[in-house]
Structure 1
Amino acid sequence: MNNKTFEKSQSSLVQSYVRSTEKQKALYKRTLFVVSISQIFGGAGLAAGVTVGALIAQQMLGTDAYAGLPTALFTLGSAGAAYSVGKLSQRYGRRTGLSVGFIIGGLGAIGVIIAAIINSILLLFASLLIYGAGTATNLQARYAGTDLANSKQRATAISMTMVFTTFGAVAGPNLVNVMGSFAESVGVPSLAGPFILAAAAYILAGLVLFILLRPEPLIIAKAIEAAKQKHHESEEIGTSVHTNKRGIFVGATIMILTQIVMVAIMTMTPVHMSHHGHGLGTVGLVIGFHIGAMYLPSLFTGVLVDKLGRITMAIASGVTLLLAGLIAALAPGDSMTLLIIALSLLGLGWNFGLISGTALLVDSTETSTRAKTQGTVDVLIALSGAAGGALSGMIVAGTSFSTLSVVGGILSILLIPVVIWYRQSKN
């Protein structure tokens, strides 16, 4: 088949979806299913860095002061990847952008394993930057389900893909001991074990998307919007949505603040626990609860965001994160129960903020530039997470974990005046 024939067949395929609302609905459901399957693997991949990244650095460097660097590095790497994945998705579609991002993240995980074997801190840091591509891609996958969703489905679509992340994300930390034993059995340091799982999981997530995400939802959505504009129609899917800069700013601010608070407290929790005699299995359990709370409530959160509104749930995010910070600060270091409660609330507050902020961002962007804008905002989210991760170790080393938790809780309530300002500006 020559290029002209191929392009003609592709154009014909796209137009068949433009003309049929039934095919659009079927593709919407198929896209959600495929992305959700990829998120199971993606969730397992991201859990490795969260659970043992700080411990690997602590072991190699012999100090707590830089234990936040791994989180900062793979979050910084995710910043560059977020922009690239967004740009690739805008030009070639979600399938290309997401599959490439996941596979690169898998290669980064392989680099971490090699670094642990040869005890190279430089290779570890470089590999963590690359590993961050998987984190960015896992987060950007939430947008894919919204391309063909109307305004009353968007938060629910985001949440459905995030729910499936839970299965992998919760399993990952709780397989720390299993993967550690497996790693030792093949001559790899035990702390690198979770990255073996991450490498396989990210690469599988990329392959699932590359093989199954057809036809391309974003390209179909662009064609639908173009057709609606041409015929001056105003149906829900594919309508011309004027860019709302204020909405983009507020949506981004919600996600950035929740990311800083969540990453900072989460990063130092394993180190804080290890200082109070908790073993690797216990650390994995607490982080498992945390990551479960980040993703498992998503289905309900999406419905609440669509029903109660983006602003209401953003305020709920700030209040929940404040409670998380206060409980983490006041909890005795040897109390696993209170740490589980604090980290679960931390995950839940992040969940409220991410879904409400994402829905507001999608509401405020046009299809023609949406993926690129989403990628740019995710860069800012990643950079804020990198800052939170890097500063968290220094704050704890200079003061205490309790101080970090209180500061994080106070920072989270800045969400409230921001969203109130946005609500007033709409009235």
Structure 2
Amino acid sequence: MMTEPEFDKANNAGRNIGLLAITQATGGSSQAIIMAVGALTAANLAPDKSMATIPTTAMIIGLALMAGPATKIIYALGRKNGFLIGATLGVVAGICAATAVAFSSFVLFALALSIVGMGGAFTQQYRFAIADSVPDDMKARAISLVLLGGVAAGFLGPRLSYLAKDWLGGVEFAGSFLVISILSVVAIVMLSQTRLAPIVKPKEGDAKGRSAMELIKLPEINIPIITGIVSYALMTFVMVAAPLAMVHVCGHTAEQATTTIQWHIIAMFAPSLVTGNIINKIGAHATVAIGLILILGTALINLNGVSVLHFDIALILLGVGWNFGFIGSTTLLSKAYRPEEASTAQGLNEPLVFGSMAVASISSGVLLNTLGWQSINVLVLPIVTATLALLAWGDYRQRQLRANS
């Protein structure tokens, strides 16, 4: 029977949580910069304003395409080495993006943002790395604390994008993307100091674990994957369109849109202070349900007004809803597979979750320009309702299994 290599999870937990939280802040800030000014920058570079969300979508596509390979690289080279590769991609991407803006190249800008997404695919694995590097009773709390680094990203990303926008010879927003390279260098320094649990690799004669096809058929695997998909896809669906809707549809200023996204990103990660405790008290199923209900509330608020206050409140609810939905889903999934199945389960989850993000981002831009801001929010309602019903069935099924065991 395969066992994990000798590793003192308890003594290394604090160090790893702290370092990964800082690195989460740097990686999150890079993506926050793009969410805050990516579409606004692209609108100035694109041949048509309807193409403004394409570079941001390229980032998400890059993340989706690299999600599976990133998992394989991490499990082949080790967690630290894999994460260092991801941070290095961020250094390259920031320089390319700044160059693209300086030379008004829409194509290069989209390509650079896709590389940011590729680096982000490694960042997304921090949550699994910390879950596998702490004792079982610390998993939910550790995942939450690492994602808490996103609070700093919420403050740093949008604000740095605004402060650095004229760094490079007055070319608006070019300096904003150079910040991504600087943040990635900081990430490299932090990651080099981590002491993460070694990868569990099967030896000859050891159990291989269930295949991806076997795992995806299990409700305890497919339900958290689906709730993770819905939480992330709907958050992306609304968030990507929001700055464009504020500036180009509702007439608000770019600074107001940037501030709204800043509060949204803070709301995505600030609840991590308590999300782990909430999961331990009421369970992951209930926590995910609360998150989905908050996302539902986002759509209802957006359907009732387009003032800056409406956008602010709705995007804050959207951030908190994502936090509860995503951390709860990750916790459910991390407890559903065996150690030898980690690579298979994570390799299955990541492309599906982040592939759905890419679809949501593309759909968001198209719908905003064809059917309008209201249509985006109307579509949220049936998707959340159906997912809540599936989640309730999954919770009922697990309770029945426990009662009969």
Structure 1 length normalisation: TM-score?
A: 0.85
Deviations 1:68-114, CA, capped at 9 Å, x for gaps: 22222101100122212211222232111112112213312221111
For the 8 Å contact 1:101–1:206, the answer to whether it is kept is no
Residue 317 of structure 2 corresponds to 345
Deviations 1:223-263, CA, capped at 9 Å, x for gaps: 8x99xx99xxxxxxxxxxx9683222111101101111111
1:411 aligns with 2:393: no
Choose which of 249, 272, 297 in structure 2 pairs with 1:323: 297
1:194 aligns with 2:176: yes
Deviations 1:373-425, CA, capped at 9 Å, x for gaps: 22431111111111111011111111111211221243222221111221232
What's the CA shift for 1:125? Answer: 1.8
Residue 233 of structure 1 corresponds to none
Flag the 1:137–1:376 CA change in 2: closer, same or farther, 3 A.
same
Deviations 1:244-293, CA, capped at 9 Å, x for gaps: 83222111101101111111110111111112332222111100100001
Partner Cα separation in structure 2 for residue 138 and residue 319 of structure 1: 27
User: 1:25-424 counterparts in 2 under 5 A?
Assistant: 25-182=10-167, 186-187=168-169, 189-209=171-191, 211-214=192-195, 216-219=196-199, 222=200, 245-275=218-248, 276-332=250-306, 335-424=307-396
**Secondary structure of residue in 2 paired with 1:330:** coil
For the 8 Å contact 1:40–1:165, the answer to whether it is kept is yes
For the 8 Å contact 1:159–1:299, the answer to whether it is kept is yes
2:324 is aligned with what amino acid?
F
Q: What 5-or-longer segments of structure 1 have no aligned partner?
A: 1-13, 18-22, 231-241
Partner Cα separation in structure 1 for residue 257 and residue 47 of structure 2: 19
Flag the 1:409–1:51 CA change in 2: closer, same or farther, 3 A.
farther
1:161 is aligned with what amino acid?
V
Partner Cα separation in structure 1 for residue 182 and residue 295 of structure 2: 33
For the 8 Å contact 1:105–1:130, the answer to whether it is kept is yes
1:56 is aligned with what amino acid?
T
Flag the 1:365–1:390 CA change in 2: closer, same or farther, 3 A.
same
For the 8 Å contact 1:328–1:402, the answer to whether it is kept is yes
For the 8 Å contact 1:324–1:409, the answer to whether it is kept is no
Partner Cα separation in structure 2 for residue 203 and residue 263 of structure 1: 27
The count of corresponding residues between Structure 1 and Structure 2 is 385
Q: What 5-or-longer segments of structure 2 have no aligned partner?
A: 208-213, 401-405
1:138 is aligned with what amino acid?
T
**Secondary structure of residue in 1 paired with 2:338:** coil
**Secondary structure of residue in 2 paired with 1:364:** coil
Partner Cα separation in structure 2 for residue 318 and residue 142 of structure 1: 20
**Secondary structure of residue in 2 paired with 1:145:** helix
Flag the 1:260–1:323 CA change in 2: closer, same or farther, 3 A.
same
Deviations 1:28-82, CA, capped at 9 Å, x for gaps: 2221122112122112111111111111222222534222222221011001222
**Secondary structure of residue in 2 paired with 1:417:** helix
Partner Cα separation in structure 1 for residue 296 and residue 378 of structure 2: 8
Partner Cα separation in structure 1 for residue 67 and residue 375 of structure 2: 31
Write out the 4+ residue segments of structure 1 that deviate beyond 6 Å after TM superposition.
Answer: none
Partner Cα separation in structure 2 for residue 251 and residue 272 of structure 1: 31
For the 8 Å contact 2:9–2:135, the answer to whether it is kept is no
Partner Cα separation in structure 1 for residue 227 and residue 161 of structure 2: 32
**Secondary structure of residue in 2 paired with 1:288:** helix
Partner Cα separation in structure 2 for residue 277 and residue 67 of structure 1: 17
Partner Cα separation in structure 2 for residue 149 and residue 292 of structure 1: 26
Partner Cα separation in structure 1 for residue 43 and residue 96 of structure 2: 18
Flag the 1:173–1:313 CA change in 2: closer, same or farther, 3 A.
same
What's the CA shift for 1:149? Answer: 3.0
Partner Cα separation in structure 2 for residue 345 and residue 415 of structure 1: 18
Partner Cα separation in structure 1 for residue 376 and residue 193 of structure 2: 43
For the 8 Å contact 2:264–2:312, the answer to whether it is kept is yes
**Secondary structure of residue in 2 paired with 1:217:** coil
Partner Cα separation in structure 2 for residue 93 and residue 305 of structure 1: 29
Partner Cα separation in structure 1 for residue 295 and residue 382 of structure 2: 9
Partner Cα separation in structure 2 for residue 218 and residue 85 of structure 1: 16
Structure 2 length normalisation: TM-score?
A: 0.89
